[in-house]
Structure 1
Amino acid sequence: MDALWMSLSAEVMGTPAWLWLSFLGVVVLLLALDLGVLHREDHEIGVRESLLLSAGYIGVALLFGAWVWWRLGPQSGLDYYTGFLIEKSLSMDNVFVIALIFSYFAIPRLYQHRVLFWGIVGVLVLRALMIGLGATLVSSFSWVLYLFGAFLLITGVKMWFMVDQQPDIAANPLLRWLKKHLRLTDGLRGHAFWVREPEAGSGRLRWHATPLLLALVLVECSDLVFAVDSVPAIFAITTDPFIVYTSNIFAVLGLRALYFALAAMIHRFQYLKYALALVLVFIGGKIFLVGVIGKIPPVVSLGVTFGLIAGGVAVSLWKTRRGQAPATGVLPRGEGG
């Protein structure tokens, strides 16, 4: 028994193993509840269900943050909530890209949740690798934080001036590579990612990828691209890998659930990107201000971040209050292609 407790108490990246296992247990439980109970059968997720599911995820995330506050102290608690807010806000920008991907492949709402759910598994692994690498670099080379800061400043400025630019899904090099090297079906095959079908010419049964698999790969790819912004942003708040990873994952979990509500009204948040750009500039700039004015208190970082995001949302909703049609041509239901 003592040996078991010693193993659970052993530190993994500065945090006791039992804390990591507790967090992973909560995540596994949430995913099992999501897929095994709430979505055992494919069905279209409406706005109401999306909002309720998201509220549940956010509630769990906030409770976990309260537990972090109680267990690890106010500093860690504030860092967690700031990281959660930053990741949640930056990830909202990814909703637009995901909607474009679903539209391009004409993925009906009936199967979109399946893609988003299995995408979470990839997120858990990819974010762990990125955060682990980032933590190792920061702990070994303190100047890496300044690289993160410079990157965030550049990214923020770039985002400000490229608000209206839309990604070209058809020109994605990964998609072109997949189409060249995989056998593909000529359309969806229910909710399957892979199916065995006769090969053209030989008639032999071969495994073929469906458009659902291509959509999943591109969703994972888009998340990886957005993580390049969000992970350094949270490292600028705290270098504790446990806080960085847990706030990241809880934010992404909740956003996937909220997707179906946001996708239907993404055009209402057209000014949010400006707020996100300012958040990146603020977070990147605070790294360089440490040597001038000292470390900015976590409560200030949280307040500024919340104020900018809330302001961006408020301005967006005010400017689009007359219900203008979206200018992006996004078709969340998958009618495009």
Structure 2
Amino acid sequence: MAHSVTLAAPLETIASPLLWAISIAVLIGLLVADFVVTRRPHEVPMREAVGWSVFYLALPAVFGLVLWWAYGSRPAIEFYTGFVVEKSLSVDNLFVFMLLLTAFAVPSALAQRVLLYGIAGALVLRGVFIALGAAVLQAGTWAFLLFGAALLLTAVKVLRDARRDESHTIDIDQMRSVRVIRRFFPVTKEYHDGKMIVREAGKRALTPLAVVVVAVFMTDIVFAVDSVPAVYGVTEDPYLVFATNAFALMGLRALYFVLRNVLDKLRHLDYGLAIILAFIGVKLVLHWAHGIWTWLPEVPTLASLGVIAVTLITVTITSMIANKREAAAERVAAETDPVAVGPHAENR
């Protein structure tokens, strides 16, 4: 007896080849503009960082309105929801970037160039993961169960790491990518402006700038594994997944300089990210299960946007409250026993 094989239907997408071409051309144009801006290494003042951050927040806002006008409310709401998910995950990404730049002692004037190289590589990497994700989803609805389980496991890991009371540091000597580079290529001890390869003693050698760029790029692989399935939990349209990733990543460089002094104050951010990842994981599992047991509910995209927004607002408020309580406790301790909180307190 012959058995017929049922193939999964192609993923629905709003994008035509022309729209893909225009979007990629605009993205390349923005990257070129960023490279022109960072051609001369310089310390980024807050005014410049805020200006670029506002620009890269206004772009997706306008893009979503264009989607609403051209394709209706559903793609627009899915885009906005996916963008909020990506942006919230990218803040955690920024924190790791901050640790890497500190561990490699990157001069402040070169920080934006490191971030730009890392973001450009991350965009290529996300494109590969998005294509792979689309291929997996076309293989069958079981992919939603796979993505959902992966996000739930990631949420547990993020929550476990958030509960650990340990200093946030990175040992670059233990990073596999760094060890591989140093094993096969000579690396100079000092930075040479924005150069990644120089001649030293008549031989070509990599600069620490090249090593930290590779480290940033390799680190983003971990984030891509989490973020791409998370956005597929919001929309099945590969174009919208690509757009949310592109808009979120393009604004990272400027956002880093705006938030670098407050990132460590968002002490409850990881708890919020764990909740968001777990929520989207459950949403994906329910979507898979609804195809088998139709009586099971599905989570609407607008409801997802509400849950994600409320979660981010809540962890921001609780972080501010915790910071104020800690500051108040330190003031009280300083008033009662100034030596206890002084520079020599640890020697008492």
Residue type at the aligned position of 1:312: V
Q: Which has the larger radius of gyration?
A: 2
Q: Deviations over 1:212-236 (max 9, x none)?
A: 0111001111111111111110111
| Percent identical | 37
Q: Distance in 1 between matches of 2:26 and 2:316?
A: 30
Deviation of 1:81 (Å): 0.7
Q: Distance in 2 between matches of 1:80 and 1:280?
A: 17
Out of 288, 307, 311, the residue aligned to residue 308 of structure 1 is 311
> In structure 2, what is the equivalent of residue 256 of structure 1?
253
> In structure 1, what is the equivalent of residue 221 of structure 2?
224
SS of residue paired to 1:196 = strand
> In structure 1, what is the equivalent of residue 297 of structure 2?
294
SS of residue paired to 2:251 = helix
1:22 aligns with 2:22: yes
Residue pair 2:144, 2:285 contacting (<8 A) in 1 also: no
> Scaled by the length of structure 1, what TM-score is found?
0.86
Residue type at the aligned position of 2:29: L
Q: Distance in 1 between matches of 2:208 and 2:244?
A: 32
> In structure 2, what is the equivalent of residue 150 of structure 1?
149
Residue pair 1:156, 1:276 contacting (<8 A) in 2 also: yes
Residue pair 1:278, 1:308 contacting (<8 A) in 2 also: yes
1:214 aligns with 2:199: no
> In structure 1, what is the equivalent of residue 124 of structure 2?
125
Residue type at the aligned position of 2:193: G
Residue pair 2:268, 2:318 contacting (<8 A) in 1 also: yes
> In structure 1, what is the equivalent of residue 67 of structure 2?
68
Q: Distance in 1 between matches of 2:320 and 2:171?
A: 27
Residue pair 2:185, 2:206 contacting (<8 A) in 1 also: yes
> In structure 1, what is the equivalent of residue 185 of structure 2?
182
Out of 274, 278, 290, the residue aligned to residue 275 of structure 2 is 278
Unaligned 5+ segments in structure 2 are 1-10, 328-348
> In structure 2, what is the equivalent of residue 318 of structure 1?
321
SS of residue paired to 1:293 = coil
SS of residue paired to 2:324 = coil
Question: Which of 283-292 and 11-20 deviates more?
Answer: 11-20
> In structure 1, what is the equivalent of residue 7 of structure 2?
none
1:93 aligns with 2:92: yes
Residue pair 1:100, 1:169 contacting (<8 A) in 2 also: no
Residue pair 2:232, 2:241 contacting (<8 A) in 1 also: yes
> In structure 2, what is the equivalent of residue 40 of structure 1?
39
Unaligned 5+ segments in structure 1 are 1-10, 199-204, 325-337
Change over 3 Å in CA distance of 1:215–1:323 after alignment to 2 = farther
Let me know the Cα RMSD of the aligned residues. 1.9
Deviation of 1:303 (Å): 0.8
Residue type at the aligned position of 2:225: V
Deviation of 1:255 (Å): 2.0
Residue pair 2:31, 2:120 contacting (<8 A) in 1 also: no
Change over 3 Å in CA distance of 1:80–1:216 after alignment to 2 = same
